[in-house]
Amino acid sequence: MEQEENESEISFKSDHRNKEKLSFTQKLLKRFIPDNTNFQNSIPFKYFSCCLTPKEEEIEISDLDIYDGDNYMSNEEIDGVMSLFPSKYLRKDERKYIKFNKENIISFIKNLENEKDFVRKFEKFNKFGLSMFMMDKNDFSTTIPVTRCKIEIPISLFSTSVPSIEQIGDAIINPNSRMKWDDNFKEYKILKQLNDNTETIQIITKKQMQMIIPREFYDKRTHFIENGVFYCYSSSAPDSIRPPKKEPIRVMDYFCVFSVSLDNKSIFIDSYHQIDIKIGQPGPLIFMSLPLKMTQFTENLINFLNH
């Protein structure tokens, strides 16, 4: 598993040749080595982690079964639509409020944009036109608020050329790009490429204040461009796919969606988050640190895109 994850960092898209070698090695070893053979004390364990049973405390359900040679895990019809995500990656609670094709993801974002229960907290309080809102009462959780962040970046801040929608989206979601300008993450990996533009990701954050030690996100994610707008949806994958360990603490990411668009004056980033980071504190306390974080996020993003 560890080798598989490290290889996935080489590029934004998975290298299937690595997967083929692993599959062949696994089959070869299983053919000639009895299942009860214990090589863990004589051979570096990481080279055989795909085919030997690890110690009980290290057992973790793997997603290696999503591949069949060069083929992605196939899409399937779920709740009446051809889903972007295979069914085993969908939580039961989220299937009540969204269907996972492009049209319904866009509709989900549009409905959030028109939600009248958002309460304005800050509006265009800095040079990026950052506005922030919160919705306490919502259909997704009785205790976790939904936050909205709107960023308006004047194109005059770019010294040479204005970045494209594709470049902005890549800077935000591609680990190879994001880790160059965002220092909030200890780790950020694409673990598995499920199908076109759809993957599972692992994020481990750095310590965020005294009360918030590193947290882990294990999410599924899809992203696409439709009518000149970049869309991205992510949410927690079920623990049945990748059970949490004791450390770091696994957060509950109900959803994180954002869109990127531009006109001849500005770039617009509109994002919605509902995340239980497991600190047992009310939403307003978490919200207090967001303006500074989103300001720093925007400054770093602009600097990266300018270079």
Q: What is the pLDDT of residues 252-296, one digit of tens each?
A: 999 999 999 999 999 999 999 999 888 765 555 666 667 788 889
- pLDDT on residue 75: 78
- pLDDT on residue 231: 98
Structure-model confidence comparison of residues 227 and 128, the more confident one: 227
- pLDDT on residue 26: 52
- pLDDT on residue 124: 72
Q: Across residues 41-49, what is the average pLDDT?
A: 35
> 265 and 129, same structural domain?
yes
- Confidence tier at 120 by pLDDT (50, 70, 90): confident
Q: Across residues 23-38, what is the average pLDDT?
A: 49
32 pLDDT more than 90: no
> 108 and 8, same structural domain?
no
Residues near 178 by beta carbon (within 8 Å), at least 6 away in sequence:
171, 172, 185, 188
246 pLDDT more than 60: yes
pTM of the model: 0.76
Write out the two tokens for 233: 């949806």
> 140 and 27, same structural domain?
no
Tens digits of residue pLDDT in 190-237: 998 888 899 999 999 987 655 678 899 999 999 999 999 999 999 999
- pLDDT on residue 195: 84
Pick the closest to residue 92 from 236, 305, 299 (CA basis).
236
DSSP collapsed to 3 states, 37-70: CCCCCCCCHHHHCCCCCCCHHHCCCCCHHHCECC
Q: Is 201 part of any domain?
A: yes
- pLDDT on residue 271: 96
Structure-model confidence comparison of residues 145 and 27, the more confident one: 145
Q: Across residues 48-52, what is the average pLDDT?
A: 37
> 157 and 248, same structural domain?
yes
Pick the closest to residue 132 from 302, 291, 301 (CA basis).
291
Give me the CATH number covering residue 146: 3.30.530.20
Q: Is 71 part of any domain?
A: no
- pLDDT on residue 284: 57
> 108 and 35, same structural domain?
no
Q: How far is residue 155's CA from residue 129's CA, in Å, rounded to a whole number?
A: 12
Pick the closest to residue 104 from 257, 294, 243 (CA basis).
257
Provide the residue range defining the domain that includes 138.
102-306
Q: Across residues 97-113, what is the average pLDDT?
A: 95
- pLDDT on residue 268: 96
> 268 and 164, same structural domain?
yes
> 170 and 289, same structural domain?
yes
- Confidence tier at 56 by pLDDT (50, 70, 90): very low
Q: Across residues 173-189, what is the average pLDDT?
A: 94
Q: Is 24 part of any domain?
A: yes
15 pLDDT more than 80: no
Pick from 28-37, 78-87, 233-242, 280-289: least confident: 28-37
8 Å CB contact between 232 and 257 = yes
> 54 and 130, same structural domain?
no
Q: Is 81 part of any domain?
A: no
Residues near 129 by beta carbon (within 8 Å), at least 6 away in sequence:
150, 151, 152, 153, 154, 266
Domain count, the chain: 2
- pLDDT on residue 201: 95
Cα distances (angstroms) measured from residue 160 to each of 140, 186, 238? 43, 31, 44
> 36 and 110, same structural domain?
no
Q: What does the mean pLDDT of the chain come to?
A: 78
Pick the closest to residue 216 from 244, 237, 240, 179 (CA basis).
244
> 232 and 123, same structural domain?
yes
Residues near 111 by beta carbon (within 8 Å), at least 6 away in sequence:
none
**What whole-number percentage of the chain has pLDDT above 70?**
72
